[in-house]
């Protein structure tokens, strides 16, 4: 009964997380678009930044943005915050269910760093908190006055952290950790900066004072960061389904590439919505970035510390492959797995004999030969030579 219950907790948490993320990203994209499409018109009321006309669902909308605040506070003011909070809470819950509860399989790789589950969990939570503190300090430092310099420093911080995470966690754990770290920065921007600043603005108005325009500027800067982080975060969240992304040697460089690709695509839309033209070159950058990531993934799995590269064998016999799979994979990938805590064959993949192994040839190569996604945490200690054999095997040979 217990595995069934956990499976459903997992499914429902993921469903909720995807829904809240759609709501958050949707409202965020909407406001970024709205902000960019505001136009100054002659005769606009004093203190306004511009207005925009929109048509949707059979009606016309006329939106006006006030630079600091309107002269009078409206009675019914809509706040946007629960989309963000609910996304973070459901995401963190899902991370606990999958990556903390299953830390020994999904977060830890004994060849990368020998950690006990509690140590890996502490490192993960600690990195989330530290990441936010470092980023927040950076924004509030003199660097924060120059958007371009801040972006460059933020990029270096994220890529360096990605490298560090791949030295602590499994590839899959490290990539998810980076997604969670950026998402935490985004949600904390809303929770600890944007909403408090908006509260201060409203409170000042209720006291009959003019709110400090710096509060709005600061919030706008964080909102801009959230905008540019959105696409890379979504990529990192789905990356765990792609062994070539999470579990090859240069996975941390892919974080850098995805940051550049995501930001350049956002730049295209930001520029288009602002009526500043369509910078088509950004799609060239995006394509080049993804091609570079694909090329990097062809370098294969990272080596265990102190290990040397195994030469790809030119001839591989099926007997060799079968031996490796039966000794390194079948304890979990069997009709009745013998691995404790795994009740049914993971993802329905049963690798218990020649026919099954041949049927899953491509997946076996991707998961265990060309990357080190399987076995999880390299728990059955497959060697680099064995991986090389799986990588060189092309499944359809009759040998
Ligand atoms: C300790 C148990 C264990 C061992 C050993 C193991 N796996 Fe897995 N495998 C899993 C789990 C758990 C999943 C599901 C992962 C997930 O939910 O993302 C999985 C998933 C897979 C999948 C499906 C991936 C997908 O996303 O559809 C393949 C293919 C696979 N393993 C191949 C292998 C191969 C090849 C080996 C041996 C080299 C191996 N596994 C060894 C536990 C194991």
- Residues with a CB atom less than 6 Å from ligand 1: 105, 241, 325, 328-329, 331-333, 339, 342, 346-347, 349, 360, 363-364, 367-368, 374-376, 379-380, 382
| Atom 9 (ligand 1) nearest CA | 346
Ligand 1 center to 39 CA (angstroms): 54
Closest among 228, 222, 234, 162 to 193, alpha carbons compared: 222
The number of the ligand 1 atom at minimal distance from the alpha carbon of 102 is: 12
Q: How many whole angstroms separate alpha carbon 107 and alpha carbon 171?
A: 8
Whether residue 248 has pLDDT greater than 70: yes
Q: Is the pLDDT of residue 380 over 80?
A: yes
Q: How many other C-beta atoms lie within 10 A of the C-beta of residue 227? A: 21
- Answer for the pair 332, 342: CB distance below 8 angstroms, yes or no: yes
- Distance (Å) from CA 117 to ligand 1 centroid: 20
Which pLDDT does position 339 carry in this prediction?
84
Cα of 367 vs centre of ligand 1, distance in Å, is 8
Cα separation, 151 vs 71, whole angstroms: 34
pLDDT band for 281, please (50, 70, 90 cuts): very high
**In the chain, pLDDT over 70 holds for what percent of residues?**
97
User: What gap in Å lies between CA 89 and CA 95, rounded to an integer?
Assistant: 10
Is the N-terminal amide bond of 239 cis, ω within 30° of 0?
no
Q: Is 398's pLDDT higher than 90?
A: no
pLDDT attached to residue 151: 94
Q: 3 falls in which pLDDT band (50, 70, 90)?
A: confident
CB 387 within 8 A of CB 368: yes
What would the pLDDT profile of 14-73 be if each residue is shown by its tens digit? 999 999 999 999 999 999 899 889 998 888 888 888 999 999 999 999 999 987 778 888
The pLDDT of residue 304 is 63
Ligand 1 centre distance from Cα of residue 98 (Å): 15
- pLDDT for residue 43: 83
Question: Residue 161: its pLDDT value, please?
Answer: 98
pLDDT reading at 218 higher than 70: yes
Cα 319 to averaged position of ligand 1 atoms, centre (Å):
21
**pLDDT per residue as tens digits for the range 284-300:** 999 999 999 999 999 98
Say if residue 395's pLDDT is above 70: no
Q: Which residue has the tokens 């993971």?
A: 346
Residue with tokens 């209720």: 206
Give 111-139 pLDDT, tens digit per residue: 899 999 999 999 999 999 999 999 999 99
Looking up tokens 């963000």 gives: 84
Distance from C-alpha of 379 to C-alpha of 105, rounded to nearest angstrom: 8
Mean pLDDT (the chain, rounded): 92
The span from the CA of 323 to the CA of 314, in Å, is 18
Query: 355 is written with which tokens?
Result: 């026919």
Residue identifier of the C-alpha nearest atom 27 of ligand 1: 347
Cα–Cα distance for residue pair 330/345, rounded to 1 Å: 9
pLDDT at 266: 92
Note whether 205 and 181 are within 8 A (CB).
no
Q: What is the pLDDT of residue 206?
A: 85
What values do phi and psi take at 96, rounded to 5?
-65, -45
Q: Which atom of ligand 1 is nearest to the CA of 377?
A: 1
Pocket mutation for ligand 1, best pick of 108, 349, 377, 379 (most atoms within 8 Å of C-beta):
349
Whole-number pLDDT of residue 209:
87
Is the pLDDT at 263 greater than 80, yes or no?
yes
């Amino acid at each position: 009964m217990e595995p069934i219950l956990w499976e459903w907790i997992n499914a429902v948490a993921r469903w909720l997380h995807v829904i809240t993320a759609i709501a958050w990203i949707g409202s965020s994209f909407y406001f970024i678009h709205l902000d960019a499409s505001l136009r100054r018109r002659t005769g606009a009321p004093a203190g306004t930044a511009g207005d925009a006309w929109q048509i949707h669902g059979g009606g016309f909308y006329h939106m006006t943005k006030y630079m600091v605040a309107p002269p009078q506070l409206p009675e019914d003011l809509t706040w946007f915050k629960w989309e963000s909070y609910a996304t973070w809470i459901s995401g963190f819950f899902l991370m606990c269910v999958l990556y903390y509860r299953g830390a020994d399989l999904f977060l830890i790789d004994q060849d990368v760093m020998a950690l006990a589950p509690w140590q890996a969990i502490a490192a993960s939570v600690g990195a989330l908190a530290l990441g936010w503190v470092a980023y927040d300090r950076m924004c509030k430092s003199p660097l924060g006055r120059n958007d371009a310099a801040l972006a460059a420093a933020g990029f270096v911080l994220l890529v360096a952290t990605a490298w560090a995470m791949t030295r602590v966690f499994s590839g899959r754990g490290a990539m998810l950790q980076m997604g969670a770290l950026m998402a935490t920065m985004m949600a904390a921007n809303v929770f600890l900066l944007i909403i408090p600043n908006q509260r201060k603005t409203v409170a000042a108005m209720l006291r009959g004072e003019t709110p400090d325009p710096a509060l709005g500027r600061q919030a706008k800067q964080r909102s801009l960061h959230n905008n540019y982080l959105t696409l890379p975060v979504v990529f990192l969240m789905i990356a765990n389904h792609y062994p070539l992304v999470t579990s090859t040697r240069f996975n941390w460089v892919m974080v850098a590439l995805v940051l550049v690709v995501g930001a350049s695509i956002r730049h295209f839309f930001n520029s288009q919505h602002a009526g500043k033209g369509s910078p088509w070159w950004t799609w060239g950058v995006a394509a080049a970035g993804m091609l570079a990531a694909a090329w990097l993934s062809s370098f294969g799995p990272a080596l265990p510390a102190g290990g040397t590269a195994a030469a790809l064998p030119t001839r591989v016999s099926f007997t060799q492959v079968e031996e490796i799979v039966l000794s390194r994979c079948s304890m979990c990938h069997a009709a009745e797995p013998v691995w404790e805590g795994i009740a049914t064959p993971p993802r329905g993949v049963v690798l218990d004999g020649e026919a099954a192994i041949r049927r899953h040839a491509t997946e076996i190569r991707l998961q265990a030969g060309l990357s080190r996604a399987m076995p999880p945490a390299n728990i059955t200690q497959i060697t680099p030579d064995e991986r090389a054999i799986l990588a060189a095997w092309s499944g359809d040979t009759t040998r």
